[in-house]
Amino acid sequence: MVTSVVTISVMTPVLAMVAAMVGRLIVSPVHQIAKHPAEATGALVAAVM
């Protein structure tokens, strides 16, 4: 019982950090596309071709 509480208290910040990193990975390209739609579209087309 005690070990599970310790595990949860240790894992919660780790999971929060991982979630924040994944969120940043998803959000930053979206921000780039929003800021520079033409450049991002050209880069995406170039990457596909």
Q: How many residues does the chain have?
A: 49
33 and 40 in contact (C-beta within 8 Å)?
A: yes
Q: pTM higher than 0.75, yes or no?
A: no
Residue 48: enclosing H or E segment and its boundaries? helix 37-48
User: Tell me: the pLDDT tens digits for 7-46?
Assistant: 888 889 888 999 898 888 888 877 776 777 777 677 778 8
Number of domains in the chain: 1
Burial class (CB in 10 A: 0-12, 13-18, 19+), 33: middle
Among all chains, which residue has been given the structure tokens 């087309």?
45
As a whole number of Å, the end-to-end CA separation of the chain is 56
Range of the domain at 24: 2-48
